[in-house]
Amino acid sequence: MQHSFIDKYADRDSILHRLDPRVRICLFLLLIMAAVATRAADFFHLIELTVLLVVLAALSRIPIGFILRRVLVVSPFLLMVVLMAPFLDVKNPVTTLRFSAAQISVDTRLVIAATVFVKSLISVVSVILLLNTGRFTELLKALQKLKMPAALVSILMFIYRYVFIIVDQFQRMLAARKARTFSNSRKQQYRGLPQIVGMGFIRSSEHAERVYAAMLARGFDGTVRTMSRLRIGSCDIVFGLVMAGVILLIKLG
């Protein structure tokens, strides 16, 4: 499976990379929450939050092209609101946007489309930054420390551990079937698909049994224990508070 985009920039060095993952998670969560909770009239808060996000992206030293490519992958969903905007039935045809002392009136449908689009964009870019400024496993450990149920976090770790193996398995089966398909007809090309899914299920079940047996043989008792070197330092707290302060200022201004 082509998975080089995952954790590709996780080992780089930047302010965000050195931040404790818990602080990073809280920071980006706060940013997304601030964006999502913005009313239409405060559209310019969203612009300011976007500027902050751009600053954070620059601080992260992750190539802008990479970020844009990841955004492109999910862009159809982001554009949904923009495409459906002309069909909206709104109560007030015009909305007044406030910017410090100034005010401008804009077509409400445009405001809704722009607001939702920017909010979803901020969310997507935040998640991309969050993921690429550290190891995935550290992110999961941070989630556990932030009180996500331990069983669920362990399951997520296992998915991360085995998904590449299983996807490769599927790709081999699909390639093998393609190699045996001598027909151009659409029906023939998709004929063996359910059987491949079924076979994948059987293989994964047997694999899971073997993995479980191996874990038992190493003393597994039901709880997954991993080493965690997460430590919050004063730098993390300072950075976190500064960013939170900026976000608060934006929301109040």
**Strand-pair partners of 95:** 106
Closer residue to another protein (CB): 14 or 204: 204
Task: Give the nearest distance from C-beta 140 to another protein in angstroms.
Answer: 8
Task: Give the nearest distance from C-beta 83 to another protein in angstroms.
Answer: 9
Closer residue to another protein (CB): 152 or 241: 152
Task: Give the nearest distance from C-beta 35 to another protein in angstroms.
Answer: 7
H or E element that contains 244: helix 234-252
Task: Give the nearest distance from C-beta 37 to another protein in angstroms.
Answer: 8
Task: Identify the burial level of 253 via C-beta atoms within 10 angstroms of its C-beta, where 0-12 means exposed, 13-18 middle and 19 or more buried.
Answer: exposed
The residue with tokens 């008792």 is 221
Closer residue to another protein (CB): 19 or 124: 124
**Alpha-carbon distances, residue 63 vs 107, 163, 168, 246 (angstroms):** 36, 26, 28, 24
**Alpha-carbon distances, residue 92 vs 17, 39, 51, 96, 162 (angstroms):** 45, 15, 29, 10, 52
H or E element that contains 104: strand 102-107
Task: Give the nearest distance from C-beta 186 to another protein in angstroms.
Answer: 6
Closer residue to another protein (CB): 101 or 219: 219
Closer residue to another protein (CB): 19 or 139: 139
Take residue 31 and report the two structure tokens written for it.
């940013």
